[in-house]
Chain A
Amino acid sequence: MTITKELWILLKYKFLMWSNIPKRRRKRSIPSWLYVLIVLAVIVSFGLPTYFLMLKMIASYVQISLGGIDLASLFLEISLLGILGLIVLIDTPAVTLNVFMSDDVGFLLTLPLSQSAIFYSKMIETLVEGTFPALLFIPLLLAYGNVVGMAWYTFIFVFIMYAFYVLFCAGISGLLSLVISKFASKSGMRRFMMLSSMATMILAYFMMNIISMPSFSSQNMQSALNAYVSKVNFFLWPSTWFLSSIRGNLLGMFALIGIASGTFALSYYIASKNVLSGFSNVISAARKKRGKEKYRTHGIFGALMVKEFRAFRREPSIMFFLVYPVIFPLFIILTSSHRKPETLLMGELTGIFMASMYIILAMASLVSIDVRVGWILKTMPVKETKPLWAKAFVVTGSFIVVIASVFLTFSVFFGGFLSTVLVVLLSIPIFLLLSFFGVYAVTKWPNPSGGTKRSLSTTGSLISMPMGFIGAACVGAQSFYFLSNGKVWHFSLLISTLLFMILPFAIEFALMIFVKRMISRIDWSEPFENRVS
């Protein structure tokens, strides 16, 4: 069988699995035309405003020219490099987890399918889910094209080239995950995790460093600007090839198509070398312990905490959650040119936003581990809420420890030690609340295909985002309030107390009531099936 035929079969049945989900859960599925309509409405309501915003911005940027390039094109290039960093950062761990830690790879390997086909089908699956940020670019491209005055057929060409650019980004993720698997195949999960997060971090840091603005405080602003432009508009960057190709440069076009195909050809070549059977999930890098083991027992709650902590530490996908809330803020902090407490605070709030989001997901994973083991906990003399508290403490504690240690270290260099302490303290209650929200979320929106890797459905994952934002907003508002002694900006004391103190607390309180009520309604005998309504 040819690889295209193999891929076709694999993807066809993957699609079938996906479209079977509502049938299996016997949900009333909405008619497909309505579905399309809703998706269209969402796209338009996000896309149109973005388009007009971009149009205005690009129209003004296009008149400014620096270092031989207009600002609009420079902006396009910066954003393209940003997209590259983002896709690599999001997709690489996803592809790695999906390809090398999926349950079904073992089964597929017993079938006469080429390993490249298995690898590609997994990769395509992941990319379809993980490359959504690339769509955000469409309004920008449309606006740019309109301002520059492109003909309609040129637009088609632009989008084809953009597709190649995205393919290139995805190809890099695929290559990275192959390389990581090559290095990690002999050792334990821990090293696997370290390698993949480090590789993506280094690459993303590199991208961010290119696009971050120089400090303009120097007297020699013109040369600083020129240096910056030549750094971004460098002839070796794929973004530069994209730009030159849509301006009609054939060399840029061939370079981009070439490199995009090249990354795929290379990953095809590596994947065909039996990488998948070379890799085995090393369940535990267990050292053989000699002699008699000593056993220790804990009280009930202690035992639950220990169990949850181990589950947390040993589930690689959950460990990734812990890494992101510090990586992203670190980019902001490290790539900014000013070392001021304000920069640090912005980084911290970003971190708290990410952490709030991932706390929900981590909690969901922990709960779904328990639910999948099923009845074991139920046969034990333990009250149902106890394991939840243990989980919430472990999750909140871990995130707080990571965030606190990273940001407190930075505050030594940036200043603002006390404000960092304050921010960390203010995060504790909201983290706890969001942990419990995670419990609610996983029973309300469980991932229908199961698994602890992604335990929330798409809806659930999407909802975790605004929830995370609310969390960060509450912490942010309260810290602003305290840091400015109750007078935030030019608001009067009353207004700022209302807005920045009372309102966040009211939100937290409301969240508490809501979560408490919802959790008390969960039927733990079948938490995923008899969902709270």
Chain B
Amino acid sequence: MSKIVVAERLRKNFGNVEAVKSVSFHVNSGEIYGFLGPNGAGKTTTLRILTGVLKPTDGKVEVYGMDVFKNPIDVKSIIGVVPDEPKLYENLTGREFLEFVGSVFSMKRVEMNQRVLELSEAFGVNFLSKFIGDYSHGMRQKLMLISVLMRRPKVLFLDEPTVGLDAKSAKILKLLLRKYVDEGVAVFMTTHVLEIAEKMCDRIGIINEGELIAEGTLEELRSYSGRESLEDIFLKLTGGDEIKEIVDSL
């Protein structure tokens, strides 16, 4: 197993809000790394830094040994990113959008057609000739997934990938990711949903208020915390012990 994505002491300030505070971790080849944390913990910000969209205030990101901000083009041509709220071009049809992405990645026409066909069938996508402006959240997410998966990236970054998806598509995504991972792909995904992290990820990093407060496989986290379910671990780490008090006072 080799380290594919390496993040070292990432920090990001927005004005005087510290969104990410010195976070370090790595993602190995052949694993799904889950970034778990409550809303506003800094997951999306970290993902934007990892993918070279946002410069960190401090720290370093390497993908396949290349610095994301020094070799942006090389890195971006081997990664795929699915944002949480895909803001896509309203006035393009899904097909035109895929063509656009395919052109940017200089994909071969035959290969692209083949892949899009397979993936559309898998996700039950039959709306590619409609304008993106008329898509629902889940439809946009599926389109974005197709545009990323069709080009077989070596590293995948997914931000809350299952939020907009129906149950069947979520299941298919899970199986697909597992298949790619077995072929050596590295996956970094964020989620605020415990079950997802539990079921999909090989290793989990728990982030709260911009800090990575625990990391490891499910077993490691369990032995570290001494409790049974991940829910308890998660709530304990992110300060959920007073939940009963809170609910009672309402």
Contacts and interface: CB of A to CB of B under 8 A. Distances in A.
B87 A103 contact: yes
B89 A9 contact: no
Interface string B83-123: 10011111111001000110111100000000000000000
Interface string A266-303: 00000000100110101111111000000000000000
29 contacts: A1-B104, A13-B96, A13-B100, A16-B96, A17-B89, A20-B96, A21-B91, A24-B90, A24-B133, A103-B87, A104-B88, A106-B83, A106-B87, A107-B86, A107-B88, A109-B52, A110-B53, A112-B73, A113-B76, A114-B73, A274-B69, A274-B72, A278-B55, A282-B15, A284-B15, A285-B15, A286-B15, A449-B90, A449-B91
Given A106-B83, A274-B55, A288-B16, A111 B101 contact: yes
A9 B103 contact: yes
Contacts of B243: none
B133 A286 contact: no
Interface residues of A, number: 37
Nearest to B88: A107
Contacts of A1: 104, 106
A31 to B, nearest CB: 21
A429 B130 CA distance: 45
A104 B87 CA distance: 7
Nearest to B79: A110
B53 A109 contact: yes
Interface in A407-424: none
Interface string A96-108: 0000000110110
B18 to A, nearest CB: 9
A316 interface: no
A285 B15 CA distance: 6
Contacts of A21: 91
Nearest to A277: B55
Interface in A428-475: 448-450
Contacts of A188: 15
A288 B48 CA distance: 23
B229 interface: no
Nearest to B101: A111
A274 B17 CA distance: 23
B59 to A, nearest CB: 14
Contacts of A106: 48, 53, 83, 87
Nearest to B130: A24
A514 interface: no
Contacts of B100: 9, 13
A112 B104 contact: yes
A529 to B, nearest CB: 11
Contacts of B134: 24
A450 B91 CA distance: 9
Interface in A1-33: 1, 6, 9, 13, 16-18, 20-21, 24
B77 interface: yes
A291 B69 CA distance: 39
A18 B105 contact: no
A367 to B, nearest CB: 18
B81 interface: yes
Closest 8 CB pairs of A and B: A112-B77, A112-B76, A110-B81, A17-B91, A103-B87, A285-B15, A109-B53, A13-B100
Contact of B131 (A20, A104, A113, A278): A20
Chain A interface secondary structure, helix, strand, loop or mixed?
loop
Contact of A9 (B15, B76, B81, B104): B104
A212 interface: no
Interface string B195-211: 00000000000000000
Contacts of B103: 9
B54 interface: yes
A164 B138 CA distance: 47
Interface string A182-198: 00000110000000000
Contacts of B75: 112
Contacts of B83: 106-107, 110
Q: Counting chain A CB atoms within 10 Å of each CB, which of B79, B104, B133 scores highest?
A: B104
Nearest to A18: B91
Contacts of B48: 106
A274 B75 CA distance: 14
Interface string B130-144: 010110000000000
A450 B55 CA distance: 28
B17 A286 contact: yes
A277 B69 contact: yes
A16 B92 contact: yes
A413 B131 CA distance: 58
A286 to B, nearest CB: 6
Nearest to A278: B55
A283 B96 CA distance: 31
B202 to A, nearest CB: 24
B106 to A, nearest CB: 7
Contacts of B81: 110
Contacts of B91: 16-18, 20-21, 24, 448-449
Interface string B54-80: 110000000000000100111111010
Contacts of B16: 285, 287-288
Contacts of B90: 17, 24, 449-450
Nearest to A189: B15
A21 B91 CA distance: 6
Interface in B13-49: 14-17, 48
B162 interface: no
Contacts of B133: 24, 450
Contact of A277 (B53, B73, B86): B53
A21 B88 CA distance: 15
A141 B17 CA distance: 54
Contacts of B96: 13, 16, 20
A165 to B, nearest CB: 33
B51 interface: yes
A110 B157 CA distance: 10
Contact of A13 (B77, B87, B92, B131): B92
A111 B80 CA distance: 8
A1 to B, nearest CB: 7
A7 to B, nearest CB: 12
A286 B18 CA distance: 11
A284 B40 CA distance: 14
Contacts of A285: 15-16
A298 to B, nearest CB: 25
Contact of A280 (B14, B52, B72, B93): B14
Interface in B133-170: 133-134
Given A112-B105, A274-B69, A104 B15 contact: no
A111 B86 CA distance: 14
Interface string B167-192: 00000000000000000000000000
A107 B100 CA distance: 12
